[in-house]
């Protein structure tokens, strides 16, 4: 029997973007409110998992052709690079820097290198979660 899952597929397309943008919001707001790279990454992967549930692994892999192992490695490299960068300036490992910038549209904002480290964490979390789900999912 062929099931017709038009409602879940249609809803998933909309809800995916809601969850994804919320995860980006949580990720960016981590410095001042609860949130950060870890929950942000988990939420993003849950958005992708919703797509996997509504469609199937191969479709999602076709739509998002990402090698999640490489994503994990890139995230780790980004985190290490952020932490190791101060070593070349004669500062201790993991020293962070911040300053205020006048950005177009957004106005005066503070930018902090902890954000880069958090992006590394975000990529690692997405990569690891999706690797686990994909590997178990396609295991016969």
Partner 1 sequence: MNNFLLLPIIIPFFFGMILMFGQKNLKYQRTFSLLGIGIALISAISLLIKVKNDGIQKVTFGNWPVPFGITMVSDMVSVLLVTTTLLIAFFVVWYGFGSITKERERFFYYPGIMFILTGVNGAFTTGDIFNLFVFFEVLLMASYLLIVLGGEKGQLKGSIKYILINVISSALFVITVAFLYSVVGTLNMADIAVKIAEVNQPGIVTVIAVLFLMVFGLKAAIFPLYFWLPTSYASAPIPVLTLFGALLTKVGIYAITRTYTLFFVHDLSYTHDLLMALAIATIIAGCIGALAYFDIKLIIIYNIVIAVGVILFGVSQMNEASLKGAMFYLVHDMLIKAALFMLIGIIIYITGTSDLRKMGGLMKKYPTLGWFYLIAAFGLAGIPPLSGFVGKLLIAQGGFEAGSMWSSIFILASSLLVLLSVIRIFLYAFWGEEKATTGTVDKKIYKTLFVPTVLLVLITVAYGVGAEWITPFMDDAAKLLYDPSIYIDAVMKED
Residues that bind partner 1 (CB under 8 A): 69-70, 72-73, 76-77, 80, 84, 87, 91-96
d(Cα 63, Cα 50) in Å, to the nearest integer? 14
Select 83 or 133, whichever has its Cβ closest to partner 1: 83
In the bound complex, what is the minimum distance in angstroms from residue 33's beta carbon to partner 1?
A: 22
Select 24 or 76, whichever has its Cβ closest to partner 1: 76
In the bound complex, what is the minimum distance in angstroms from residue 74's beta carbon to partner 1?
A: 9
Identify the DSSP state of 33.
S
d(Cα 42, Cα 127) in Å, to the nearest integer? 10
Where do the DSSP E strands lie in the chain? 98-103, 107-112
Select 23 or 72, whichever has its Cβ closest to partner 1: 72
Where do the DSSP E strands lie in 3-136? 98-103, 107-112
Select 51 or 117, whichever has its Cβ closest to partner 1: 117
d(Cα 82, Cα 87) in Å, to the nearest integer? 10
In the bound complex, what is the minimum distance in angstroms from residue 14's beta carbon to partner 1?
A: 35
In the bound complex, what is the minimum distance in angstroms from residue 25's beta carbon to partner 1?
A: 27
Tokens of 137: 């999912």
């Amino acid at each position: 029997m062929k099931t017709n899952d038009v409602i879940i597929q249609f809803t998933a397309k909309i809800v995916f973007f809601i969850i994804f943008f919320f995860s980006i919001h949580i990720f960016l707001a981590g410095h001042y409110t609860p949130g950060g790279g870890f929950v942000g990454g988990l939420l993003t992967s849950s958005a992708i998992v919703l797509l996997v549930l509504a469609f199937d692994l191969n479709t999602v892999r076709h739509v998002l052709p990402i090698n999640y192992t490489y994503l994990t490695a890139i995230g780790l490299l980004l985190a290490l690079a952020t932490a190791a960068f101060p070593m070349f300036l004669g500062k201790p490992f993991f020293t962070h820097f911040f300053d205020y910038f006048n950005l177009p549209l957004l106005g005066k904002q503070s930018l902090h290198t902890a954000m880069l480290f958090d992006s590394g964490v975000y990529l690692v979390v997405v990569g690891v979660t999706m690797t686990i789900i994909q590997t178990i999912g396609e295991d016969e």
